[in-house]
Amino acid sequence: MLEVRRLRLLREVAARGTLAAAAEALNYTPSAVSQQLTVLERETGVALLERAGRRVRLTDAGTRLVEHAEVVLANLERAEADLARGTGAVRGTVRLGAFPTAARGLVPRAAARLRAAHPDLRVVLHELEPHESLPAVRLGELDLAITHRYDLLPRRREPGVSSTALLDDPMSVALPPGHPAAGAAVRLSDLRTDRWIAGHPDTSCYAIVLRACALAGYSPEIDYHSNDFSVVLALVEAGLGVTLVPDLALRHVHTTAVLRPVAEAPLSRQLRIAVRRGSAERPAVAATVEALRVTAATLRTEGAASRSP
């Protein structure tokens, strides 16, 4: 019978790309990882890894075995969660990942609610973009993460991780004061000659600007990059460009930028909660998810009230 420890090692190597990285993450030596995977290959009778320069990658058989490993590890998570739930105690430490806008606009109120309801539960926040937090959840470095999904971009799926919707976050066009295109709604096609401001190129905040403009028929000229929307709005206010801004980034922020909906089609992103498969019923995880949901519902109500005439 295959040993779970070796299956976890194979999954770690596949996710991290090198024996050394997997060894460091699990407090093994690279030689120990290599020996254990050699044993696993001998047990299965097939090659599971192959060299790709300085990295390693899964063979077809290795890929299939990691898929089975994800199921096994999720069932173990589910068993541990069931036992923990039986104690009825919400305590310990929960490691939460969140991208900056959610870390500022959503997490503080949820964490305060958790502290009041469960004083023995400690929340540790890690500020990470979704492309960083999702693998961290899968590999056990985080217990859950708040991520986002833009409606115009392909969906990213992380093996071993499940996610559920938390909050719809509409997006607006942000224009410098006095911009000639600032009507009741703004056509992105009317901004083809403007300079744009976007997130860093490896983030979805950058990709959404490219995609939205591409659908409007052009490739935007981007002069400034920042994932901090307070910086982005300051650049817009100074007349240095236009951008797209989610509603959550505008909470508790005073700006002189002109904010208008997109005329071609409403744009939005969806905030989601991601957890390791099988872990959702852990008392600490379940309590954190509930606090985030209650906080998101409050934000939704406040947002609807602010938009009412």
**Would you say 277 and 77 are in contact if contact means Cβ atoms under 8 Å apart?**
yes
Is the pLDDT at 305 greater than 60, yes or no? no
Is the pLDDT at 55 greater than 50, yes or no? yes
Per-residue DSSP letter, 205 = H
Identify the bridge partners of residue 224 per DSSP, sorted by sequence position. Answer: 197
Is the pLDDT at 304 greater than 90, yes or no? no
Q: Mean pLDDT over residues 251-277, rounded?
A: 92
**Of 173, 194, 195, 171, the residue nearest 182 (C-alpha):** 173
Right CATH number for 4-84 from 1.10.10.10, 3.40.30.10, 3.10.20.30, 1.10.490.10? 1.10.10.10
**Of 276, 22, 24, the residue nearest 138 (C-alpha):** 276
Domain ranges of the chain: 4-84, 90-167+270-307, 168-268
What is the per-residue burial (b if ≥16 Cβ within 10 Å, else e) of 78-115?
beebeebeeeeebeeebbbbbbbbbbbbbbebbbebbe
Whole-angstrom Cα distance, residue 189 to residue 9?
50
What average pLDDT does the structure give for the chain?
92
Angle (CA) 151-304-188 rounded to 5° is 40
Is the pLDDT at 155 greater than 60, yes or no? yes
Question: Residue 306: its pLDDT value, please?
Answer: 54
Right CATH number for 168-268 from 3.40.50.300, 3.40.190.10, 3.90.1150.10, 2.60.40.3140? 3.40.190.10
What is the per-residue burial (b if ≥16 Cβ within 10 Å, else e) of 218-246?
eebebeeebbebeebbbbbeeeebbbbbb
Question: Residue 84: its pLDDT value, please?
Answer: 83
Helix (H, G, I), strand (E, B) or coil at 27: coil
pLDDT tens digits, 28-37: 898 999 999 9
Question: Residue 89: its pLDDT value, please?
Answer: 83
Question: Residue 297: its pLDDT value, please?
Answer: 94
Question: Residue 309: its pLDDT value, please?
Answer: 44
Q: Mean pLDDT over residues 44-57, rounded?
A: 88
Q: Mean pLDDT over residues 59-70, rounded?
A: 93
Q: Mean pLDDT over residues 122-129, rounded?
A: 96
**Would you say 71 and 2 are in contact if contact means Cβ atoms under 8 Å apart?**
no
Same-fold call for 4-84 versus 90-167+270-307: no
Right CATH number for 90-167+270-307 from 3.40.190.10, 3.60.150.10, 3.40.50.300, 3.40.50.970? 3.40.190.10
Burial class (CB in 10 A: 0-12, 13-18, 19+), 68: exposed
> What pTM was estimated for this model as a whole?
0.86
What stretch of H or E contains 163? strand 161-175
